[in-house]
Chain A
Amino acid sequence: MTAADNNASRPRGRVVTFERALLVFAVALLLVLPAFTSDFFVSFVLTQGLLLGIAAASLIFLAAYGGMVSLAQTLLFGVSGFVIGNAVTTGGSKGLNLGLDPWLGVALGVGITTVLAFFLGAVASRSTGLYFLMITLTFGVIGFYFFGQVTTFSGFGGINQVRAPDFVGTPGQFPERLYFLALAVSVIVYVVLRYIARTPFGLSLQGIRDDHVRMSSMGYNVWVHRTLAFTLAGFVASLAGVLFIWWNRQIDPASIGMGEILALLIIAVIGGINRLEGAWVGAIVFVMVNNYVRDVPGLNQIGLTEARFNTIIGLIFLIIVLLSPDGFIGIGQRVVRLLTPRAWHTSQAPGSDSGSGPSVTAGSRSDSGSGSAETTGNK
């Protein structure tokens, strides 16, 4: 529905050009920003924002193109980190302490996570909508308890002092190196996911999102498509996990607990869950709120101090869900539409600005089979 599939089909009018220009501008800005800002900002706002954005992009990819709101992405993100932690540490903390080469650790982390994603996806993909959401939530929380209880791999204390490859160094020493790596991975993930959405696989995935009964009767294997999409998203989440463990140097079960699971969903929704770009927008907003809420005048007076960060982010999330279900991206689109002459809008496919919140109802739509592709086409 909405912008996601319009991108695949709509004529390339001026609005598309505008969006592309905006994207190029954003990447260019991100490239030069480290020159003008502090190391703290580069590391704690930009790098963290980009890597959370990659994880959120895996969630948005599944939600926007597959109609599957997965809460297991945080688990997959964490599994990748835990595998690397177990593989590369040499002692001094819990875990296997295998002492392997950092790059071998990356290969293991990404590989094991992707295989795990395949199996989890195979179980969860037989369900849709809210069932899928709940099943993936249980995966995530069971994963949290697994790493907490099984001291062979971690325990609640977590794994500390995880080395990154030499060329990345430590964030304290070379914050820019990890930042540019995160930026490069972000751009590649974005481009590849957008490309995959236009392949026959991506198109049939979107067909399944809109009406899985019809796609099934046309001979598409719904379950296989969903499982493969989930596996791909698991791969993307594992990349974010690699960056996280290099950035954070340690990982513990609290990194993938209930709060973090919901945080990733909140990032995706406040950014805009029906557009991939929303992942990074949401992540940057999230870490900005996290780091700078103490500087907002007036909040302290009403009791919302820095310690109440979760209340503030929860309120932002609530307001977004109530008023603008397509997140900040949706707000931005509406502002752009208000500011540009009407004639420009003709090239934009209708339906992308419907205020009824198509994005957040993605799961229900794919269940009911009402076929939002039809609605878009008929308008």
Chain B
Amino acid sequence: MQWIALVAGWSVAAIFAAWVLVFANGTPAEPLVSQPGDFVKVLLNALTIAGLYFIVASGFTLIFGLMRVVNLAHGSFFLLGGYIALEFQKLMVGKSRNILGDDVGVFDWVIPLLLAAMIAGILGLIMQQVFLRWFQGQDMRETMITIAISVILADMMVSWFGGIGVDIQWPGLIDRAITVSGVRYSVSRLFMLGVAIVVGVALWAWLQKTRTGMVIRAGVDDTSMVQALGINVQLVFALAFFVGSALAGMGGVMGGSFAGLAAGVDGQWLLNSIIVVIVGGLGSLKGALAGSLLLGVVTAFAPSYLPAGFTNYSIIFTFVLLGAVLAWRPYGLFGTPE
């Protein structure tokens, strides 16, 4: 069975490559041989959006890996983080509307980012301590509680921040485009990728090189054994929930600068996180990376390399990715069966 899947996987990859390379005439991007610049742009789009997927999904997967809680309020913390950062940015810039790139210094973006991540983390921690702690082990009930909180938060955010879409302004320094050998590309998107790499490396170093990280990894494998060794596992859970929610809030600030904030964005980013972790395997940071890259490639390439009249069908390819991975590995690429 394994070799069939391998052959199928490589054939799909080969067909995809041949299509992008030579045959994609009549698509918005045109084939690689005739329009290499467009290909580079689409590839960069894939990588940069994958970076954002990774930041958000790594928080989701961290919480699940350690505590078996599917935090369906993750998207709400994303959106709330974005809105909070916007409020801080307005305060710091001193304008409540029409904020332009020139008004925003680097700190007018970074400080709101850190504050929003912090507040989202604290809210996640409160949710875990007040509601979830008492139902540890009842994973479906914990999930229902996070759903209830996401419904309430979504409605409250409409009430506080309105239903109209708003943007967080990038700092003027990076809110521009650069041109390298004929390819024009947005600096802020490259910056987003840079932040994702920094976050990824920091998470990896934290989990692999520190004592806390060691405890968390041990907790993922066997919580009761960690507890038996005299480690305060509740503290570790609280920390994981704080970091996981803070990552959602941080993602929200970047997503809000990149694509804007509006009612419904929370569900969209919850969906992105879920697809990433289902494809990559729940609870695995490696899986979150693989899932983000795959989803990034699909969401960037499908609209650009489908024939012009059919680009609105690109959502189907997300489903195809999900179905193909699940048919081959029901617990994701790096996941293990319960």
Q: Is the CB of B331 within 8 A of A127?
A: yes
Contact check, B267 vs A127: say whether CB atoms are below 8 A apart. no
Tell me which residues from 287 to 334 in chain B have a Cβ below 8 Å from any Cβ of chain A: 312-316, 318-319, 322-323, 326-327, 330-331
> Could you tell me the distance between the alpha carbons of A266 and B270 in the complex, rounded to whole angstroms?
18
Interchain Cβ contacts under 8 Å between A and B, 21 examples: A127-B330, A129-B338, A130-B68, A130-B143, A134-B70, A139-B319, A141-B268, A142-B322, A146-B315, A146-B316, A149-B312, A258-B267, A258-B270, A262-B150, A266-B151, A309-B155, A318-B145, A318-B148, A325-B141, A357-B138, A361-B140
Instruction: Say if the beta carbon of A24 comes within 8 Å of chain B.
Output: no
| In the complex, chain B residues 99-117 whose Cβ is within 8 Å of any chain A Cβ | none
CA distance A131 to B312 in the complex (A): 28
B147 touching A262, Cβ below 8 Å: yes
A330 to chain B, nearest CB (A): 13
Contacts of A361 in B (CB 8 A): 138-141
- Check A137 against B331 for contact (C-beta < 8 Å): no
Q: Which residues of A contact B278 (CB under 8 A)?
A: 131, 134-135, 138
Taking residues whose C-beta sits less than 8 angstroms from the other chain, chain A's interface range is 35 or more
Closest 9 CB pairs of A and B: A258-B267, A314-B151, A318-B148, A310-B155, A314-B152, A126-B330, A360-B141, A363-B140, A149-B312
Chain A residue, CB-CB nearest to B330: A126
A313 contacts chain B at the CB level, 8 A cutoff: yes
Residues of B within 8 A of A130 (CB): 68, 70, 139-140, 143
Quick check: is B159 within 8 A (CB to CB) of the other chain? yes
A375 CA to B268 CA, complexed, in Å: 41
- Extra contacts besides A131-B278, A150-B312, A364-B139 (13): CB < 8 Å: A141-B267, A146-B315, A150-B313, A258-B267, A307-B159, A308-B155, A313-B151, A314-B155, A315-B148, A321-B144, A322-B131, A360-B141, A361-B140
Could you tell me the distance in whole angstroms from the C-beta of A226 to the nearest C-beta in chain B?
Answer: 12
- Give Cα distance in the complex from A258 to B150, angstroms: 11
Chain B at the A interface: SS class: helix
Distance of A234 Cα from B159 Cα, bound (Å): 35
Other-chain contact of A258, B155, B159, B264, B312 (Cβ < 8 Å): B264
Given contacts A150-B313, A262-B147, contact A142 B319 (CB under 8 A): yes
Known: A141-B271, A322-B131. A310 touches B141 (CB 8 A): no
Contact A322 B140 (CB under 8 A): no
Q: Does A123 contact B (CB under 8 A)?
A: yes
Instruction: State the CA gap A322–B149 with chains docked (Å).
Output: 12
Please tell me if A284 contacts chain B, counting CB pairs below 8 Å. Answer: no
Distance of A142 Cα from B152 Cα, bound (Å):
23
CA distance A314 to B144 in the complex (A): 11
Q: How far is the CA of A320 from the CA of B331 in the complex (A)?
A: 31
Write out, one digit per residue, whether chain B residues 138-179 have a CB within 8 A of any chain A CB (1) or not (0): 111101110111111011100100000000000000000000
Verify if B20 is at the interface (C-beta below 8 Å from A): no
Q: How many residues of B contact A (CB 8 A)?
A: 46
In the assembly, what is the distance between CA of A134 and CA of B146, in Å?
A: 13
Assuming A123-B327, A321-B144, is B151 touching A262 (CB within 8 A)?
yes
Judged by a CB distance under 8 angstroms, whether B275 is at the interface is yes
**Quick one: which of A131, A269, A311, A322 contacts B331, CB cutoff 8 A?**
A131
A266→B315 CA distance, assembly (Å):
27
Nearest-neighbor residue (CB-CB) of A223 within chain B? B330
- Chain A residues within an 8 Å CB radius of B57: none
Q: Which of A207-264 contact B (CB under 8 A)?
A: 257-259, 262
Distance (whole angstroms) from the CB of B165 to the closest CB of chain A: 15
CA distance A124 to B316 in the complex (A): 17
What residues of B have a CB within 8 angstroms of the CB of A133 in the complex? 70, 140, 143
In the complex, what's the smallest C-beta–C-beta distance from B286 to chain A, in angstroms?
18
- Choice from A151, A257, A364 contacting B140 with Cβ under 8 Å: A364
Nearest Cβ on chain B to A112's Cβ, whole angstroms: 16
List, in ascending order, chain B residues with CB within 8 A of A180's CB: none
Contact among B155, B271, B322 with A311 in the assembled complex (CB-CB below 8 Å): B155
For B264, the chain A residues whose CB sits under 8 A away are: 257-258
Determine whether B85 belongs to the interface, using a CB cutoff of 8 Å to chain A: no
Of B140, B159, B318, B330, the residue contacting A142 (CB under 8 A) is B318
| A42 interface contact, C-beta 8 A | no
A321-B141 contact given A127-B326, A138-B278, A258-B267, CB 8 Å threshold: yes
> CB distance B323 to A123 under 8 Å?
yes
Q: Is the CB of A310 within 8 A of B154?
A: yes
Give the CA-CA distance A111 to B68 in the complex, in Å: 38
Residues in B with CB closer than 8 Å to A135 are 278, 322, 326
> How many Å lie between the Cα of A266 and that of B70 in the bound state?
17
CB distance from A366 to the nearest CB of B (A): 10
Residue contact B148 to A138, C-beta cutoff 8 Å: no
Contact A363–B139 (Cβ < 8 Å): yes
- Measured between beta carbons, the chain A residues less than 8 angstroms from B330 are 126-127, 131
